[in-house]
């Protein structure tokens, strides 16, 4: 009889946990939102070379990172620039370019008062640094409400092959 009461008690406690639930001490933080829209994609002929001009508008919440990957060939020239359109914080954007794991360009904002609101970079892909490059935009402020809207333009040579040059995350407006 005693074992029966213990078994019934255990079943009742388990049933109550299933119905009521239990409050755990762990909390997961949501990833800061990042979205983009393609403003314009055009091809331009200049100096006997066909160039692709990609204009983007990025929105990055505080603490968020937005990456754009480029698959280039040895000798490809790239020009990229950005400006903050709606800096709710006065400009807190860090901009970095990586070739593989090596950082080849770095402009890092540390706070709203020393934030950078625009930057420009031109570089040539080389065999020594590799052909995979990553442009990284980061909103350095931790507060997710500190959204930055950034206008970016990337100019790169058009490929003869069907290989894609630019890769952008899937989150769009």
* Of 36, 134, 119, 39, nearest in space to 84 by CA: 119
Query: Residues 130-169: pLDDT tens digits?
Result: 889 999 998 888 888 888 889 999 999 987 766 678 888 6
C-alpha 50: how far from chain center: 28
Average pLDDT over residues 61-67: 90
Average pLDDT over residues 76-98: 81
Residue 125 has pLDDT above 70, yes or no: yes
Q: DSSP class of residue 141?
A: -
CATH ID of 34-167, from 3.40.640.10, 3.90.230.10, 3.50.50.60, 2.60.120.680: 2.60.120.680
What does the angle CA 76 – CA 36 – CA 98 come to, to the nearest 5 degrees?
Answer: 35
Which helix (H) or strand (E) segment holds residue 78: the answer is strand 77-84
Spell out a b/e string for 38-63, using b for 16 or more CB atoms within 10 Å of the CB, else e: eeeeeeeeeeeeebbebebebbbbbb
Which helix (H) or strand (E) segment holds residue 52: the answer is strand 49-60
Q: What is the pTM of this model?
A: 0.73
Cβ atoms of 49 and 157 within 8 Å: the answer is yes
């Amino acid at each position: 009889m005693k074992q029966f009461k213990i078994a019934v008690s255990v079943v009742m406690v388990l049933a109550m946990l299933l119905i009521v639930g239990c409050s755990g001490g762990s909390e997961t933080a949501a990833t800061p939102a990042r979205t983009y829209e393609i403003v314009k994609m055009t091809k331009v002929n200049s100096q006997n070379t066909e160039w692709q001009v990609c204009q983007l508008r990025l929105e990055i919440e505080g603490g968020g990172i937005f990456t754009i990957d480029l698959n280039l060939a040895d000798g490809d020239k790239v020009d990229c620039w950005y400006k903050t359109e709606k800096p709710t914080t006065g400009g807190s954007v860090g901009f970095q370019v990586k070739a593989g794991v090596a950082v080849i360009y770095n402009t890092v904002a540390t706070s709203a008062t020393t934030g950078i609101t625009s930057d420009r970079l031109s570089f040539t892909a080389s065999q020594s640094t590799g052909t995979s490059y990553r442009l990284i935009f980061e909103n350095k402020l931790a507060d997710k409400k500190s959204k930055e809207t950034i206008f970016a333009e990337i100019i790169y040579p058009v490929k003869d092959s069907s290989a894609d040059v630019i890769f952008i995350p899937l989150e769009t407006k």
